[in-house]
Structure 1
Amino acid sequence: RRVPPFQSQDSLEASLPGMAASRSGHETMENPALDSSRPIPPLVRKTIAELRPGLKHLHLRFIVVEKGEPTSTVSSQTIYPARVADESGSIELVAFDARGEALRPGDICEIRWGYAQPRERMLRLFVGKLGQLLRVGRINMLYSVTPDMSAPRPWDDASP
């Protein structure tokens, strides 16, 4: 099943690809490699300033401030970087293929099941393969571009 690049706010209840309701009524995520299912991990709601390397199952709301130039990977995927911000700060979002292409400056979006990882010494926010990128509005959101959480190694400032 193909995932649309954006889902509207009305489709927040929609299932992710590979999700099914278990007999108990709880949603589960199928694991095709094991041909079994497991409970979906709970979402972790964070602000951009709270992001640290290795955080996953993230749920964030932000505005797209600017969109960078796309680049291609060796596996023929297109990477679309974008500067996104909320009231606490900004970070570089990395979105692939149709999801990234659909991003526009001024879009207010939510990520569900995203993750934060350092790449090239900079913290970045990613939409996972099973993650959701939702457009929930346009332009009307307070935000701050500082602190820049994608600045080289901001999480090391607290070390002795």
Structure 2
Amino acid sequence: MNGVNDPPLFIKDIKPGLKNLNVVFIVLEIGRVTKTKDGHEVRSCKVADKTGSITISVWDEIGGLIQPGDIIRLTRGYASMWKGCLTLYTGRGGELQKIGEFCMVYSEVPNFSEPNPDYRGQQSRGETGFKLAQNQGDASFHMLVEAMAGDLQIHSYKEQLIIKQS
């Protein structure tokens, strides 16, 4: 797919199963450290480019070096699903290289790491919507689930989702 010298891929074009990815992004948020059974440290970081945002899983000492505002080039990364969410990883022989700070055009939406029924294995849309609604406290999300059930109207205006109660 993407060779080391190829131009970076946009976040919007990342799909589960893609390998050898080159992506340039800005770090927006760094999650708390989680320790694995075998002593590794893992952090989930929210990153973005001009096309949207995604979560990247960063392991061990490199995770402690990354700061919000860092502009980073990921080489030889891959994308996979983790707990129903699209996630970026550094692949074997891959690397994260800081190439700048703070000055990058980015968009937090759409967030491609939000649960997506299209990527869910065998769950039906109804099961997915119900399970997501149970885990989500956001009122607009509940309205979206109701809209899927036919109780609300959904309109798209200039790439913004507008939900109106019927």
Q: Under a length normalisation based on structure 2, what TM-score does the superposition of the two structures give?
A: 0.67
SS of residue paired to 1:56:
coil
Aligned residue for 2:38? Answer: 75
* Structure 2 gap segments, 5+ residues each: 126-166
Aligned residue for 2:73? Answer: 110
Between structure 1 and structure 2, the one with the greater Rg is 2
CA distance in 2 between partners of 1:140 and 1:130 (Å): 28
Whether the aligned pair in 1 keeps the contact of 2:77 and 2:88 (CA below 8 Å) is: yes
Residue identity (%): 35
Aligned residue for 1:27? Answer: none
Q: What's the CA shift for 1:72?
A: 0.7
Relative to its length, the structure with more helix (as a share) is 2
Match of 2:3 among 34, 38, 42: 42
- Show structure 1 runs of 4+ deviating over 4 A: 154-157
Pairwise CA RMSD: 1.9
Relative to its length, the structure with more strand (as a share) is 1
CA distance in 2 between partners of 1:82 and 1:58 (Å): 17
Aligned residue for 1:96? Answer: 59
Q: What's the CA shift for 1:156?
A: 4.2
Residue type matched to 2:103 in 1?
N
Tell me which of the two structures has the higher relative contact order, counting C-alpha pairs closer than 8 angstroms and 6 or more residues apart: 1
Whether the aligned pair in 1 keeps the contact of 2:19 and 2:76 (CA below 8 Å) is: yes
Whether the aligned pair in 2 keeps the contact of 1:52 and 1:155 (CA below 8 Å) is: no
Structure 1 residues 81 and 156: alpha-carbon distance in aligned structure 2, compared to 1, 3 A threshold:
closer
Whether the aligned pair in 1 keeps the contact of 2:70 and 2:101 (CA below 8 Å) is: yes
Count of matched residue pairs: 118
Q: Under a length normalisation based on structure 1, what TM-score does the superposition of the two structures give?
A: 0.69
Q: What's the CA shift for 1:42?
A: 2.4
CA distance in 1 between partners of 2:117 and 2:73 (Å): 23
CA distance in 1 between partners of 2:42 and 2:117 (Å): 23
Whether the aligned pair in 1 keeps the contact of 2:20 and 2:91 (CA below 8 Å) is: no
* Structure 1 gap segments, 5+ residues each: 1-40
